[in-house]
Every structure is written in structure tokens, then in C-alpha cells.
Structure 1
Amino acid sequence: MDHEKVNEFLGRFVTDLGATEAAGSVAIGHRLGLYRALAERPATPEEFAERTGCHPRYLTEWLRGQAAGGYADYEPETGRFALTEEQAFCLADPNGPNVPAAFLAALGMLRAEPRIAEAFRTGGGVGWHEHHEDVFFGVDAFYRPGYVAELIPSWIPALEGVDAKLTAGARVADIGCGLGSTSLLLAEAYPRTTVVGSDYHGTSIELARKKASEAGVTDRVTFEVATAQTFVGTDYDLVMTFDCLHDMGDPLGAARRVREALAPDGTWLLVEPFASDTVEDNFNPVGRLYYSGSTFLCVPNSLSQPGGYALGAQAGETAVRQVITDAGFTGFRRAAQTPFNVVYEIRP
């Protein structure tokens, strides 16, 4: 046994366990608005208690833990803690990377560990709707900033002729829309366009309708409870699916329904997690995130549904292309990509 390699592995373990335990503190900082409060100005634990209304002893431990993990700065001379501009952007700005939301989603999915462990033994599934609500809110809040940064400025312009159609006024279906963030982003950017969002999860649709009402766009954005194989409507100029095809038990049935619903010159905007077809090329920090999420969310959800597929979050382009080709589409190209996503343009 190589003891240096043992120590190297244990060092990785300490880092991972520390990050795992720290997830709870990050979620508390998110729930209680502690990051937003700390972004205002530096504070000692006692000063921070006055600002937040929380107990100073808990805040002392929380602040020290944040500093130990590099999520806050500490000034030994004054005993004050603070967020740098960069930390505040990532931790306190809901339109920034919104890192705490990712931890919220992760903690939410980990609540299902006993059920997932049982599914390992039985091969059964655990549906998206069976998870804790932190998963729904956390995923939406974490993914939304990425869609804000990419959907309108980059992904839509990367599709041939789609921007012009949306500007003139188009019919759009947003499949697997969750809490409706992408539907609202598109409608707000293109006032002449109408959007129908659908998701099989009724609670998400209720929240999406509430968000549409608050945004004042209910005349142009509607939502329905429906699966990707049963959503209503035809002659759509654009169909969108964001990070959800790989979660479906029957992605082929969904793709066939999309083809039926598209206008003859319509476009399917398919956004999927970035992944290589070569398994070992996914052995990196992003791949690790996706495989972990896929183990708890994507694969269990697909196995809870009929269809026989379980693509997983790291399916890769070849597997996705096969589903699209089997559904009868003839146009398939990679239109854009980020470190986290691949954007496909699909045409009948």
C-alpha cells in the first residue's frame, strides 16, 4: 500500500466531507438572507446579530465556517467578516450564479436517500414530484441565471431564422417548463409571441401561473399540466425543452410528439447537459456534479415512468441524436454550448 496515496485520498475526503457538511450552512444563509445582509457591509458577529435579528452565538459559528471555506473574508484586526464583490455576486445576487440555490436543491434531493437506496435494490423509480420542495425551488433558482445569461442573448440568435419569427410574433411551446422561468423570459423579450408551458408536475404549474400573473403576461403566457407526450397544440414555430429530455422515461415518445406539434418550418430548441460520448471524458468536476444529480433525480425519475429509457444527465450527443433520428427528424445540429449545456437545433 502506498501511504502517500492514502493520505492524498484522505485529503480529498476531508475536502469533500467539509463541503458536504457546509451545504447546510449555505442553505441557512440563503433562507435567512444572511448573505444579502453581509454583502451590505462588514460586521462582527454581534453587529451582524443586530442587523439580521439572529442569535449571535449561531452567527459566530456560521461566519467562521463561511470564512474557513472561502465563502467570506475575515479581518483579524477588527474581528469583522465581509463578502468581497465577487463573493456577493455569487452568493447574494439572485441574478448572479446563485450558488446557494444549488446547495438548496442538493440538500433537497439528498432527503430522498433512503428511497433511492431502496430503488437501487428493486430497480424501481422515484418521480420528480416525490422529492422535497427544496428540489423544485432550488433547481429553478439555480438554473434561471444561466438561462437569463444565455437564452435571449446567445441561444435564440444561434437558431436559423427564429429570432425574426419571435420578433414578428410566434407560437411557442415550452415542454417540461417547471416553474416557468424560461417561458417568462421568452415572452418578456418578445412581446408579440405567445407561449404555452407544460409540465406533468401540478405544483410547479401552479407556481408558474402565479409567476406569470405577477409578471403581468397571462394574456400571452399560459400553462398546463401535461406530459411531454401529451401537451396540447400544433403548428408551433418553436418548441423548447431545457435540461429535461434525459429525465424522461419515454424521450422518444416526447420527440415524436414534438415533431407532430411543430409547424413544417418550425424549430425545436433542445438544451441538454454538456457531456462527452466518451465516459472517461466526463470524469471531471462538472461531470461529477451531473452524475450525482442524475443518480438521485434524473435516472430515478425516468425509471418511474413508462418508456424503458434512462438516458441520465451525461447521456452524450450520440444518444440524444439517436432519439431524435428515431423520432423522424432530419435536421440536427449543435448550435451552441457552454461549460454546462449543449444547445441543439432540430428541424423536421
Structure 2
Amino acid sequence: MIQPDPDTLNALVGKMLNDLGGAFSVPTVRIGLRLGLFNSLHSEGPATSSALAKRLGLAERYVREWAMAQAANGYLKFEPATEQFSLSPEQAMIFAVKDSPVYLEGAFDLAAAMIEGQHKVEEGFRTGDGVTWGDSAGCLFCAVGAFFRPGYVNSIAQAWLPALEGMVPRLEAGAKVADVGCGVGFSTLLMAEAFPNSRFFGYDFHQPSIEQANAHAAAHGVSERVRFATAMAKDIAETDFDLITMFDCLHDMGDPRGCAEHMRTLLKEDGAWMIVEPIAGDSPADNIGNPVSRLYYNASTMICVPTSLAQEVGEALGAQAGERKLTQVLTDAGFSQVRRATEGPFNMVLEARV
């Protein structure tokens, strides 16, 4: 038997302690977000645990232990001389500023949802069956929407749509847009707000998501030019779209090739399909050793692959499919032009044209 190297073992144990510290922080961070503890420190300034508890009508002993946990996490600042806790500007961007590109409330909710759904995915390991989207946890679709929203707020109108050839002028003049796999509608509504002369059609196969999307549209006062409907991607009947968008969902589909073939029939001859997918290299080795792929592979194991396997065909591309494989899916469906229009730290944006 090969004996473990002590230095390698100690380094691995140290890494595991850091990882477990992050895992243990999930429920305490969620409590801080739900009860307004982070927001109070951001909006009302530094406070002792007693003052913070009084602000929010909470029990001081719980607040004191919570605050010390967040200080130990590095999520709050602690001043020993005054016993005050505070949020730095950088910490506030993660825990309090909802439109910050790195606001992570949704990430902590998503981690909790994956734990909640563990037993169903575990059974899939034994049977090979999938787990239907929305069935693995109480509000997985809410957590996914919240997780992606900050990136969409800061990227869709500012970087992703402008990267498509000639598309922004069409949207400004008045285009017809389909947002397929729209979830709770954040992406659709952001585009609608940025381009008030265009019409938007959001489609998703998950009825509770569409119900939330319609409620969001009504709250934003855009229902007259934004329509949401429950539909499988391959069953969409509306045609003549200037633009089709898919945000972080093509790899979740059971039949992405059949979906791609159908998208081609829905576009105008000079239309474009924008596919936003998790960023990944083309070989598994390219995706080892970086924190983004680590997140995506784990999420893909618990969400993306089970979701695809629960549908017809069940190709299960996974969240780290890579540009080469995705491009092959698109070209096989009849798209003659496929290019990476732009990218960011978490996503790549492909543009496909017939």
C-alpha cells in the first residue's frame, strides 16, 4: 500500500477545512439575508450585536453568534475595540447590493436547494432516471432565477446583445423576440425595459415559472408587449422572430438537437439566435482546477444532467459541454454561421444564423 505524503495530506486537509467552512456558512448567510442583517449594516451603518438586534427586533444572543460567524467567514468586518460589525464596500456588493454583478443571495439559495434535492438525484444514480425540473426542491426554479439575475442585469443589454451583428438597431426600431427557456422572466423583462419598441415572447415548459413571469410583467407594467406562455421549446408555434434568445438552458434540454432544428424554423431569414451558456473548455482537462468549472460541474450533477435525463431523448449535455460540442449541435441543425460573439467570467455567448 502506498503511504500518503504528509505535506500533500496536510494541504488537502487544509483545503477541505476551507471548503467545509464555506458549506457550513450556507444556512447562516441565508438567515442573514432573509432577516435583513446584512442590509441593515449596509444601509444603517456599523453596529454592535446588541444594536443590530434592536434595529431588527431580533434576539441578541443569536445575532451575536451569527455576526461572529460572518466575521470568521470574512463576510463582515469586526472592530474589537468597539465590538462593532460592519460591511466593507466589497462585502456589500456580495451581500447587500442586489443589482451588483456579484450579488450572491441566489447562489446560497441554490446550494440549499441542491442539498434538499440530494435524495432524488441519488436515486437517479441507481436507476439512471432523471429528476423533473422543479421537482427536486421546493423552489429550485426561484433560486436559479435569483442566481442568474445579477449577471443578466449587468450583461444582457450592456454587452451580450451589442455583440450580435446589427441586432441593437433592430431592437431599437422594433423587433420581435422569443426568449426560450425564460424561467421566471428576468431575462425577458430586462430586454423589454432596454428596448421599449420591441415585442417579447417568453416561453418555458415549467408552469409555475410562467406564472411568476406573468406576475413580474404585470408589476413592471409591460404586459401589453411582453407575453409569457407555457410551452416546450419544440412546440412553439409563433414564427418570424428577428431574435431568439436562450439563457443558460440549452444544455438542460432533453433534445437540444431537436430544439435547435425547431429554432431554425422560427427565425426570419436574416434573424439571429443568441445562446448564452456556461463558459467551459472543450476538453474535460480544460475544466479542472478553476473555481467556475467547479461550481458548474457540481450544479450540473445535481440539476442540469437530472433535468435533461427526465425529458425525451435525454442527451444530458451538461453545464460544461463546451463551445465545440454546442457548435456541432447548432450546425447539425442547419445553422451555417456560428461564432462566439463575446464572453465573460461565467458565460460564453454564441450567435447562430442560418
- Into which bin does the TM-score normalised by the smaller protein fall? over 0.9
Instruction: Assess if the C-alpha contact under 8 Å between 2:188 and 2:200 holds in 1.
Output: yes
Q: Which residue in 2 is equivalent to 1:102?
A: 107
State the Cα distance separating 1:20 from its structure 2 match.
0.5
Deviation at 1:124, TM superposition (A): 0.5
Query: 1:199 touches 1:225 (CA, 8 Å); kept in 2?
Result: yes
Deviations 1:168-209 (A, max 9, x none): 101000000001011101111111100000101100100000
Percentage of pairs with the same residue: 48
Is contact 1:94–1:141 with CA below 8 Å preserved after alignment? no
Of the candidates 126, 129, 134, which is equivalent to residue 124 of structure 1? 129
- Tell me which of 294, 311, 315 is aligned to 1:309: 315
Q: TM-score, normalised by structure 1?
A: 0.98
- The one-letter code of the counterpart of 1:63 is A
Q: Contact conserved, 1:105 with 1:134, CA < 8 A, in 2?
A: no
Shift in Å, 1:27 = 1.1
Q: Is the Cα–Cα contact under 8 Å of residues 41 and 82 in structure 1 kept in the other structure?
A: yes
Matches within 5 A, 1:49-198: 49-96=53-100, 97-198=102-203
The residue matched to 1:336 in structure 2 has which SS? strand
Matched, 1:37 2:43: no
Shift of 1:326: 1.2
Structure 1: unaligned runs, 5 residues or longer = none
Letter in 2 for 1:195: F
**Contact between 2:173 and 2:197, CA under 8 Å: does it hold in 1?**
yes
Superposed displacement of residue 34, structure 1 = 1.4
Aligned pairs (5 A) from 1:265-280: 265-280=270-285
**Partner of residue 243, structure 1:** 248
Is the partner of 1:128 in helix, strand or coil?
A: coil
Q: Is the 8 A contact 1:42 1:80 kept in 2?
A: yes
Q: Structure 1 residue 21: deviation in Å? A: 0.9
Separation of aligned partners in 2, 1:135 and 1:212: 21
Matched residues in 1 for 2:165 and 2:138: separation?
Answer: 38
The question of whether the paired residues in 2 share the 8 Å contact of 1:98 and 1:141 is answered with no
- 1:295-339 Cα offsets, whole Å, 9 max, x none, are 000000000001131100000011101110111111100100001
User: What CA RMSD, in Å, does the superposition of the two structures yield over aligned residues?
Assistant: 0.9
Give yes or no for the alignment of 1:345 onto 2:348: no
Residue of structure 1 aligned with 2:209, choices 180, 183, 204: 204
> Residue 323 of structure 1 is aligned with which of 325, 329, 334?
329
Distance 2:29 2:236 in 1: 37
- After the TM superposition, which of the residue ranges 217-226 and 35-44 deviates more from structure 2? 35-44
The Cα shift of 1:154 comes to 1.0
Structure 1 letter corresponding to 2:88? T
Task: Tell me the equivalent position of 1:15.
Answer: 18
- Alignment-mate amino acid for residue 92 of structure 2: A
Instruction: Say which SS state the counterpart of residue 5 (structure 1) adopts.
Output: helix
Amino acid at match of 2:320: Q
Note if contact 1:30-1:101 (Cα within 8 Å) is conserved in structure 2: no
SS at match of 2:235: coil
In 2, distance between residues paired with 1:87 and 1:346? 38
- How far residue 141 of structure 1 moved from its aligned partner, in angstroms, is 1.7
Aligned residues: 348
Structure 2 SS opposite 1:270: strand
How far apart, in 2, do the equivalents of 1:240 and 1:104 lie? 26
